[in-house]
Structure formats: structure tokens, C-alpha cells
Homo-oligomer: A and B are copies of this chain.
Amino acid sequence: VRVSSPVSPPRDPVVVLASDAFKGSLAAPAVCASMARGLRRVWPKVEVRSCPMADGGEGTLEAVLMGVGLRGSRHARIVSGAGGNPIEVAYGILDSPDGNVAIVEVAQVVGIADRVAMALPAASRSTRGVGELIRALLDADVRRFLVALGGSSTNDGGAGMLTALGARLLDSEGETVAPAPSALGAIERVDVASLDPRLETCEVILLSDVDNPLCGRRGATATFGPQKGVASQDLAAFDEALARFAGHVESALQRHVATSPGAGAAGGLGFALQVLGGSSRSGAEFVADLVGLDASLEGADWLITGEGRSDAQTLAGKAPLVAASRARAAGVPATLVSGALDSAALSELGRHFAGCFAIPAAPMTMAASIAEADELLADRVEQLARLWAAAHE
């Protein structure tokens, strides 16, 4: 009888890197690259599997394109920004056996980083450019759309997009009403006779990390209006105008979605896309599937995830939590390394991760931490890998 040694020769671990972007600092692929650099300082031949994550917000296009590799391509087009200003936006095209899929990131068109639009009042910002982009893609024979809804500056219920696609908003005199929050309250009828007929044959998937309805206490205006610059005394009027607009759109299209989860995403753009037949999905879960996270976890020893700031919202299903949940199902420990941790949420976060860490190596300002994030992150992951190696022996 041969008794084999119970001690295997030590080998470098297989590590899955599945981080969201550090918003304002590093895109998700760059985060994974920094993490990989830290790991290689400890294990020069470590097997790293990079699965950049996103949750439907800013950075989703980049994560999806990275995830699909050669099947995807990046394109650009000039459309109207939220303030009517021309803006060059990036979008993706994903080759698929069933036809091309367009990846539209709403934050590229009407994002909060657009200074021209942000200088205008929220009441005059519109999603018209999103409709222009979709129309151009329809012209290019695209019939499948993946729309990432996070990071918008608009609160127009998708009125701008609908008019760009052919809908007409009419007042009591039958005159056309502008598709901006300031005018929506005057709508008496929505004419969908000229709505682009090609939309009926489209498949639209909406990626979002929020499940808010269009109106009411948990609606788009009450929840996200203030951070888009809607004054507190105007919140009720915005909400009423959205409700009025939505009622007319629902009557015209004979579809009722204003109260469905996600209708309140992107200032109600979620509503307009759902009323056209789109279905909402969790952005993080969808991206995890698209980048093949489950397959990457097979035979892996450790997953590292992260995001710019981790707090109670992380627990509501942001990318790091989805990554940890997939890792748990695969029996792989998941460690969180973020730009910052909210100490008040740490105890709860700790239940989901094999350790939660932040990148600062000393007291420092937020600005310094953001400016040095690339190296701080590599350093932090290096030190965690040193501990991992020691504990694993």
C-alpha cells in the first residue's frame, strides 16, 4: 500500500479579478490591470482571470466590450446632448449569430459629466440624443439593443427619446410641446402614429441597478431629482408632469409600465423604453453573465472585486455583491478592495466578503487617493497577496 503525502507542492493561486470601475478614477479594465500588477509582484506566474464588471451605469460599455473581446467593436457618433449641444458618443456593436446587438450607454449621451448640459437647469434637459442614436442604429439594421441606464442627468421620462423616434407631444391647442420637464405638464395627447415602425420588431434589454417606479415617493424625481439639480420646491411639479405625460403615452401605446420596477431609472427613460417593449435586468448580473464570470470561477482560488466607494448601497446588489454571490456559489472566497469603505456599513459588508479593504495607505485627501489610485490599488493587492500566501501555507 502506497501512502501518498498529504502535502501538495505549493502552487500559485488562480485569481479572478471582477471589479467595477473606481468612478472618477479608473475604468473597470484599468482596475483589474492594477490589481493584476500587485498580484504579480508576489506571484510572478499567477494565473489572473480579468472579468471587469459594471452595473448598468457609466463604464458599462467599456466592461461589456472588454468582456466580449473580439466579438465586440467600438463606434462613435455625434448626437444631441442633454442640453441640445452636439456631443460625440461612443457605443458598441456586438456580433451575434442572431444579428448585431448595439450597446448604448445612456451616460455617454446624457451623462452627468457633460458640463454644457449640467450648466442648464434640469427642467430643460432632454433625452432626445438617445432617440437619435437609436434611430441611426435602426437605419444600420440593428434590431437588438442593450441599453445601460445609469448616470443620466435627465428627468424627462424619456420624452426626448420618444419624440426623436417619431412620437408627437401635443397641447390642448394641438400644438407640439417640447420634450423637456418644463413643458410636459401641458401635454393633452401623445400622437404615436409616426413612431418608427421598426421599433415593433426590436428586442430591447435595459440594464440598471435601480428598481424604482416612474412616479411617487420612490419615483425617479423624488429619489434622483435632487442630485440632478431639481430644487426641492419643484419636485412635486416635476413628478406630476411626468405622471401626466406617462398617462398619455400609456393610453396611446396601450401598455402600462409606469409602476413597474426600473421605470424610474435614468429619470424615467426606463419607463419610455419599457413602454416600447424593453425589459429591465440587473445590470451587474447581466454583465457577470456576459463576461463569463461563472466560467472564470471554475477552479479558481480567490476572487478580488472592488468599486470606488463601498457603503450600504453596495449591499443592494451592486457589482461587488453580485461578484461575491457568484463566487460563493462556486466555493471561491471573495475579497473587496475599494477606493473607500463606509465604516458604518463595514460590519454588514464583512458578512459578504473574505475581508473588506480600502486603498489609502495613510491618512490622505480624497483628491490624492483618486490621483494615486492606480498605484495605491496595486500596493494594496500586493500586500493582501502576501498575507494570503502566508496564511495559505
Spell out A's residues near B (CB within 8 Å). Answer: 1, 3, 6-7, 302, 309, 333, 335, 339-343, 346, 350, 353-358, 360-366, 368-369, 372, 375-376, 379, 382-384, 386-393
Q: Closest CB of chain B to A236's CB: distance in Å?
A: 35
Task: Please give me the residue from chain B that is nearest to A376 by CB atom.
Answer: B343
Contacts A388-B387, A391-B388: A341 and B362 contacting too (C-beta < 8 A)?
A: yes
Task: Please give me the residue from chain B that is nearest to A301 by CB atom.
Answer: B391
Cross-chain contact B1 with A354 (CB below 8 angstroms) = no
Cross-chain contact B350 with A383 (CB below 8 angstroms) = yes
Chain B residues positioned under 8 Å from A391 (CB to CB): 302, 333, 354, 387-388, 391-392
Task: Please give me the residue from chain B that is nearest to A338 by CB atom.
Answer: B362
Give bound CA distance, A379 to B348, whole Å: 12
Q: Closest CB of chain B to A75's CB: distance in Å?
A: 37
Q: Closest CB of chain B to A23's CB: distance in Å?
A: 15
Chain B residues positioned under 8 Å from A369 (CB to CB): 363
Residue from B335, B343, B383, B386 within 8 A of A361 (CB atoms): B343
Cross-chain contact A387 with B354 (CB below 8 angstroms) = yes
Q: Closest CB of chain B to A357's CB: distance in Å?
A: 6
Give bound CA distance, A316 to B383, whole Å: 21
Chain B residues positioned under 8 Å from A387 (CB to CB): 333, 335, 354-355, 384, 387-388, 391
Cross-chain contact A361 with B341 (CB below 8 angstroms) = yes
By CB atoms of chain B within 10 A, which of A342, A356, A391, A393 has the most?
A: A391
Give bound CA distance, A376 to B23, whole Å: 25
Task: Please give me the residue from chain B that is nearest to A342 by CB atom.
Answer: B362
Cross-chain contact B363 with A364 (CB below 8 angstroms) = yes
Chain B residues positioned under 8 Å from A366 (CB to CB): 363
Cross-chain contact B363 with A340 (CB below 8 angstroms) = yes
Give bound CA distance, A68 to B277, whole Å: 76
Contacts A376-B343, A383-B350, A392-B391: A362 and B360 contacting too (C-beta < 8 A)?
A: yes
Q: Closest CB of chain B to A385's CB: distance in Å?
A: 8
Cross-chain contact A362 with B343 (CB below 8 angstroms) = yes
Q: Closest CB of chain B to A64's CB: distance in Å?
A: 29
Give bound CA distance, A333 to B369, whole Å: 29
Cross-chain contact B392 with A350 (CB below 8 angstroms) = no
Chain B residues positioned under 8 Å from A392 (CB to CB): 391-392
Contacts A343-B362, A343-B375: A353 and B386 contacting too (C-beta < 8 A)?
A: yes
Chain B residues positioned under 8 Å from A354 (CB to CB): 386-387, 389-391
Q: Closest CB of chain B to A227's CB: distance in Å?
A: 20
Give 12 A-B contacts (CB < 8 Å), ordered by A residue.
Answer: A1-B1, A1-B3, A3-B3, A302-B391, A340-B361, A343-B361, A343-B379, A350-B386, A354-B387, A358-B362, A363-B365, A363-B368
Chain B residues positioned under 8 Å from A365 (CB to CB): 363
Give bound CA distance, A384 to B346, whole Å: 13
Give bound CA distance, A369 to B379, whole Å: 20
Q: Closest CB of chain B to A85's CB: distance in Å?
A: 33
Ranked 4 nearest A-B pairs via Cβ: A6-B6, A354-B390, A340-B362, A355-B387
**Further contacts, 7 of them, CB under 8 A, given A333-B387, A333-B390, A388-B391:** A1-B1, A333-B393, A335-B390, A346-B383, A358-B361, A360-B364, A392-B392
Residue from B6, B302, B355 within 8 A of A383 (CB atoms): B355
Cross-chain contact B350 with A382 (CB below 8 angstroms) = yes
Give bound CA distance, A7 to B392, whole Å: 14
Chain B residues positioned under 8 Å from A342 (CB to CB): 361-362
Cross-chain contact B355 with A358 (CB below 8 angstroms) = no
Give bound CA distance, A340 to B363, whole Å: 7
Q: Closest CB of chain B to A310's CB: distance in Å?
A: 9
